[in-house]
Structure 1
């Protein structure tokens, strides 16, 4: 029975991603955030369970990637699609643009799939990530969409163009060759985990300050720290 536990947890992550997708279509951005976080919890738990129970399997690896593309690829894409669809008239009255430009949100799902496929065959990513991982990308977008609908008083054309540019940037980040440190803490010691603890404290502070939008701020900080670390400005 224990060999099936990791796959059961993965399926729970997949189910959570499906619910998040439905919530995104309905424009319930708070619940999208909740269910993506639940999916991330199960996604972390399945790997932990597999290591603890020594229940690794090729099927589990493939199932995990399929689950991740739904929970961390499709769900955030639908959230961004819904937001763009609701606000596209702010930049154009052309019906073709209003109807079809929001579909660029699904670049996030496409590049999530590319990133996951790349991750499965890239032996360099056992201890850290190369490119932005899909859970971090998903958490950024779902919390950002929630923040835009609850924390931003006016959605301006400039903001809309910035969001569309960010879709392209984040899509490319997922398949980039930029090393990004893993968020998994193998030891509770401060040494070797300085960046992880700093990020955790900063994320908590941001959420306490600006609410759910603080999650998006924390992901931006994570990307920034990883880039500074790679350039040598911060010590590894």
Structure 2
């Protein structure tokens, strides 16, 4: 019975992704963000439960990727479709109909990223490329901000297409990004993680839900800065 517990939690992640997708199709980005975030919580808990119960399995790995494909792949693709659709409303019927499908490039890039992750042996301690949940959180947060903002009703088309292109690139780039995994609580060994957590807490206190996009940007920039610092130290010691 306990073997099914992690898989059941993964299915809860998938269920949340389906609900988030439905809300995203209705452009209710606030509710889509809520259900996405709940799905990500279950995405964390399924792996934790599998390790705690000692029932990790190949089936669980594949099921997890399939759930992530919906929650962190299809949902942000739908949000980008909507954002580009808003941006092309004044560009004529053909552009307004066809160009928004470019948003689903995020879904395709996420699928490729998830497939690579399953066979990449380098990503146990850190990530290579932006994780799909982080990318999805950024896109859904942008959708939420556009929906809630009084000073902007649509993203400029160039901005919507830029977010799409950069997302696709970062998902499958070879940039190392740190993972929030702690082998110990040493300040020296985990400095970048503590800085990120502290910065995230400050941003959440200041901007609340609107902080999520800034947190993902901070995560990317801190990872880049950390890698540059490590490479500089390595070059100086050689």
TM-score after normalising by structure 2: 0.91
Partner of 1:60: 60
Q: Helix, strand or coil for the counterpart of 2:3?
A: helix
Alignment of 1:33-182 (within 5 A): 33-89=33-89, 92-151=90-149, 153-155=151-153, 159-182=156-179
Structure 1 moving runs of 4+ over 6 Å: 233-236
- Give the distance between the partners of 2:11 and 2:23, measured in 1 at CA: 18
1:180-191 to 2 correspondences below 5 Å: 180-191=177-188
Give CA deviations for 1:52-97 in whole Å, capped at 9, x if unaligned: 11111111110010100100000111122122223322xx432111
CA distance in 1, matches of 2:135, 2:191: 22
RMSD: 1.9
CA distance in 2, matches of 1:2, 1:235: 47
Cross-structure match for 2:32: 32
Secondary structure class of the residue paired with 1:62: helix
Q: How far, CA to CA, are the matches of 1:144 and 1:104 in structure 2?
A: 17
Q: Matched residue of 2:152: which SS? A: coil
Matched, 1:7 2:30: no
Partner SS for 1:56: coil
Question: Higher mean Cα deviation, 200-209 or 134-143?
Answer: 200-209
Provide closer, same or farther for how the CA distance between residues 162 and 11 of structure 1 changes in structure 2, counting only shifts above 3 A. Answer: same
1: CA distance, partners of 2:163 / 2:98? 18
Is the Cα contact below 8 Å between 1:229 and 1:235 reproduced in 2?
no
- Equivalent of 1:231, from 216, 228, 231? 228
Separation in structure 2 between the aligned mates of residue 235 and residue 221 of structure 1, nearest angstrom: 22
